Structure 1
Amino acid sequence: MIIVKRYFTTTCFLLIILNGSGLAAKKDIATDDTIIVIHSIAVTGNRTTREKIIFRELTFATGDTLTKRELTERMKRSRQNLLNLSVFNFVTIESADGPDGTTVLILVEERWYLWPSLILEQADRNLSNLLHERNWSKVDYGLGLQLDNFRGRNETLKFSTTLGYNKRFTLSHTNIYLDRLRRNSMEFSVSYLSNDQVDYLVQNNKLLSYTSPEGQIVETFKATAGYAYRKHLYQKHTIYLDFKTCSISDTVAALNPGYLYQANTAIRFMYLTYNYTVDHRDSRYYPLEGFFYSGELRKYGLGLFNENKMNILQFKANYNRYFQLSRRWYFGSNNQILKSTLGRYPFYIDHGLGYGKNYIRGYEYYVINGDDYFFTKNTLKFNLLPMHITHLNFIPFRKFNKIHYAIHLNLSADAGYVSDNTNDYRQYNNYMVNSLLYSTSAGIDLVSYYDSVFSVAYAINKSGLRAFYFHFHSPL
């Protein structure tokens, strides 16, 4: 325990020093202050994507008067914006001076957009826990069809049906623009889910599971409508209205009377979510520079379809910061806080650490439920292999045979705290509640095309547990 604490303290101290040095880090930029006027903007390579989608992400426009240095910085940022749409594999932006002014040339290489698929994916909370528990029943398989960049407007149309652990049907249509300026958009989704297995309780900070010999014991339906307003490139307001129903067997209600409310076997409710984000990251799927922050307010129970009188108000905030310290060294910090007020959660609603991307490295095997939480994840990265582009000539398809990849080594220090204000979660020896949690880790990340990331880390947590952990997303 002492060794872990010293390692954690030393690592945090090192990261804080490097974080501070990142504030003062400066990068070389063009120094040409020659005034130019953008005469025209030409786009090539967009066989499917409409030009309006591309022009919406640019930080310059025809007729702009600026210096060459400013244009260089704006072209760099515009390239990052276009890559963050996740509809292009590669983007090149160059400028050429002429007698009438400067012409900006944009070359895009589009991705493959139609994805009929055989689905085989883990249904556990994370890949590391699946490999640790070896509960191979928590695997989904099925068929799906996803059409990205639908109609050339960066919409996504998705249908899937799965068997296995989750018997699920999902249909969604997202990013539907409503106006010519692409400021207003909507999205819709419906899903149906049934299970003959269910995680019904947390004991020793582990989920307890029950499998019914008689078939289906949990059935859920969800419908979502969303509206987004994005006037500026890096700011977005989003409102979601969700309707959910859940029914469970008498056995599940007996195993945990709080699974829904007061041993009920059915519940239905609506909830409203408002989210505001500011996103200045250079990459959304593996950021190295920039910042991101968001605030979210969610109200469970809106009066309609609320026989159980659910009444929960939840606030969540994120602040992430990324620095380039030197040519190959980077530092990133991911921070989140959640606060709940008013009523109590049913067990059915995931809340706490250990679900999705809300976890502390070194605690992937555990869940820590509670009313409120915060966590901070901090990583020092070394770019072992800079972004490299290669051609796989044995693949005949142009949209797949040109790939890029990079490798990063990292050293991390994480900490978090989950509080129990109702004394509901400390039962059953859930000893991690109301206790400061921390860990250190060292790992390697492989970053490649189609937003793919594979991360492996060796972590030591507060209890001294040492293990390797695996993820298919950026640790930050």
Structure 2
Amino acid sequence: MQSLQLKIISLIIFFSITLFASTVKVDSLKLNQKIKVDSIIVKGNDRTENFIILRELTFAVGDTIDNKIIHFNKERIFSLGLFNRVEIGVDTLNVSKIIINVEETWYIYPIPFWYVEKNSIKNLTIGFDLVWNNFRGRNEVFHSVVGFGYDPFFMFQYINPALYYNQKIGLSLGLGFYHLKNKNETATKILNQNFSYKIIKLNGGMFKRINQFNLVGLSIGLDNIQNELNEAKIFMASNKSTDRVPYLSFYFVNDTRDLKQYPEDGNYFYLSFTHKGFNLFDVSYNITKTDFRFYQKMFSYLTLKERFVTRNTFGEKVPYYDYSYLGYEEKIRGYNNIYFENRDYFLTSYELDVPILKEWNLSFDLPLIPKSLTSARIGIYTSLFFDSGITYKNFSELKLSKFNSGYGIGLVFLILPFEIIRFEYSLNKYGKGEFVIANKYSF
């Protein structure tokens, strides 16, 4: 099976490189040429409102721009995830007139998913992720996910980034129902058995876009978490079988990345503080999270990526279900089926990406199928990576000898704006190797 996968990968690489040799990248301006913009026109946006596109631009009428600025803005517009193709050029008769050509994508599609915990088919969860984007042309998102099997759940989310366009204010709403197995192995060992939670989540929030790069937000919510095993109530925040947890969260985002789906340049900073409980229902604790990412081009074709992410909990009593875990949402590559838990975690990652096929706009016609489903931006990259992380209770435990580290090599296929597929082989500090297929970018 593994040898067959490697053969398929080799054929795809060969086919893509052959096609790449026949493509030509066209710049809208001559090298080092600068122009002063006197007008901006958007074409091809049959559904998307002009302002959704124009507010991504870092230049305006009257500004002087060059190819570097044009390329960055092209990538920022593509990062919206609303288009199969974006081109920014100049009018052939009036070089000061900027023309933005976009090709709308398909906006509603189900994505099947599955995942297995602890490397056992008995712990299989399968389901569908249904996304409906841009249904009114304002980049709104209806997002629902349903899962069956080991951890059944249903989740719904609505995001409107332009609720009040002039004030740059957006809205988010969420609702979820979950029946999840306990993830805390310490609790399982203490009770000598595992148990489940029934969880209902309700939340809403407002966020303000300060400019193209900065955003602040506030969200409120209520979680109702019911423990199905009476003996396990000692692990709850209230020491009861059910925790009712109101919360308030503040967050700040600074994002200067070029292509958000797979960045080559820029930074991403995320900071959040959440207070849970307010001493109501005998619950009171806090969670902070930071996520710093740095992307830097090297020698014009290599990209060096760095990431530092932390999650910290503190308060009178932090329930086991809200501890910090590595191995689920955040992973150390090389430890795909190994889980780490404690009050806090720290994770760092380094990656060096080399393009095989940087950008190829694929488009073909099929009968009865909309062209928005048969067009995509294709890219292929190889990567070298190193991850290292630790879970801990206090800072005195932060010792290099206690970190778990992994390293390896990967092959990444971009099928934008639809999908990203990663094939990775990694080794952990014990020399044990693993092959992983994932459907999102590492960071």
TM-score range, shorter chain: 0.7 to 0.9
State the Cα deviation string for residues 295-336 of structure 1 (Å, max 9, x = none). 111212224xx313x222222222111122124322111111
Q: Provide the alpha-carbon RMSD of the alignment.
A: 3.1
- 2:287 and 2:47 map into 1 onto residues whose CA distance is 41
- 1:283 and 1:467 map into 2 onto residues whose CA distance is 29
- Find 2:363's aligned residue among 391, 410, 414: 391
Q: Is the 8 A contact 1:201 1:209 kept in 2?
A: no
The equivalences for 1:100-139 within 5 A come to 102-115=96-109, 117=110, 120-124=112-116, 130=117, 133-139=119-125
- 1:120 and 1:259 map into 2 onto residues whose CA distance is 34
Match of 2:226 in 1: 247
Q: Is the 8 A contact 2:365 2:374 kept in 1?
A: yes
Match of 1:151 in 2: 136
The equivalences for 1:20-419 within 5 A come to 30-33=31-34, 36-62=35-61, 64-66=62-64, 70-96=65-91, 102-115=96-109, 117=110, 120-124=112-116, 130=117, 133-141=119-127, 145-181=130-166, 183-194=168-179, 198-199=181-182, 201-202=184-185, 218-249=197-228, 252-254=229-231, 256-261=232-237, 264-303=240-279, 306-308=280-282, 310-356=283-329, 358-394=330-366, 396-419=369-392
Q: Is the 8 A contact 1:288 1:330 kept in 2?
A: yes
Structure 1 residue 262 displacement after superposition: 6.6
Counterpart residue identity of residue 81, structure 2: S
- 2:245 and 2:252 map into 1 onto residues whose CA distance is 24
Change in CA separation of 1:38 and 1:387 when aligned onto 2, cut-off 3 Å: closer
Structure 1 residue 377 displacement after superposition: 0.4
State the Cα deviation string for residues 425-447 of structure 1 (Å, max 9, x = none). x9xxxxx9992221221121111
State the Cα deviation string for residues 317-356 of structure 1 (Å, max 9, x = none). 2211112212432211111123333233212225132221
Structure 1 residue 263 displacement after superposition: 5.3
Q: Is the 8 A contact 2:233 2:239 kept in 1?
A: yes
Q: What are structure 1's unaligned runs of at least 5 residues?
A: 1-27, 125-129, 427-431
- 1:29 and 1:376 map into 2 onto residues whose CA distance is 40
Counterpart residue identity of residue 199, structure 1: N
- 1:204 and 1:227 map into 2 onto residues whose CA distance is 36
Structure 1 residue 161 displacement after superposition: 4.4
Counterpart residue identity of residue 380, structure 1: L
SS in 1 for 2:75: helix
- 1:448 and 1:89 map into 2 onto residues whose CA distance is 10
- Find 1:457's aligned residue among 424, 427, 431: 424
Counterpart residue identity of residue 185, structure 2: V
- 2:402 and 2:187 map into 1 onto residues whose CA distance is 14
Aligned length: 413
Change in CA separation of 1:137 and 1:403 when aligned onto 2, cut-off 3 Å: same
- 1:466 and 1:401 map into 2 onto residues whose CA distance is 37
State the Cα deviation string for residues 349-380 of structure 1 (Å, max 9, x = none). 25132221x22111221221112221110011
SS in 2 for 1:59: coil
Change in CA separation of 1:235 and 1:370 when aligned onto 2, cut-off 3 Å: same
- 1:37 and 1:363 map into 2 onto residues whose CA distance is 53
Q: Is the 8 A contact 1:369 1:433 kept in 2?
A: no
Counterpart residue identity of residue 317, structure 1: T
SS in 1 for 2:37: strand
SS in 2 for 1:311: strand
Structure 1 residue 276 displacement after superposition: 0.8
- 1:237 and 1:361 map into 2 onto residues whose CA distance is 31
- 2:426 and 2:187 map into 1 onto residues whose CA distance is 20
- 2:72 and 2:102 map into 1 onto residues whose CA distance is 15
Greater RCO, 1 or 2 (C-alpha within 8 Å, sep 6+): 1
Q: Is the 8 A contact 1:413 1:439 kept in 2?
A: yes
Matched-pair identity in %: 20
Change in CA separation of 1:465 and 1:276 when aligned onto 2, cut-off 3 Å: same
State the Cα deviation string for residues 72-95 of structure 1 (Å, max 9, x = none). 333222211111111111100101
Q: What are structure 2's unaligned runs of at least 5 residues?
A: 1-28
- 2:312 and 2:222 map into 1 onto residues whose CA distance is 22
Change in CA separation of 1:210 and 1:407 when aligned onto 2, cut-off 3 Å: farther
SS in 1 for 2:77: helix
- 1:287 and 1:269 map into 2 onto residues whose CA distance is 37
SS in 2 for 1:79: helix
Structure 1 residue 283 displacement after superposition: 1.7
State the Cα deviation string for residues 213-248 of structure 1 (Å, max 9, x = none). xxxx53211111111111210011011112100112
- 1:53 and 1:71 map into 2 onto residues whose CA distance is 23
State the Cα deviation string for residues 176-220 of structure 1 (Å, max 9, x = none). 52323361111111122235xx235315999x99788xxxx5321
Q: Is the 8 A contact 2:32 2:67 kept in 1?
A: no
SS in 2 for 1:224: strand
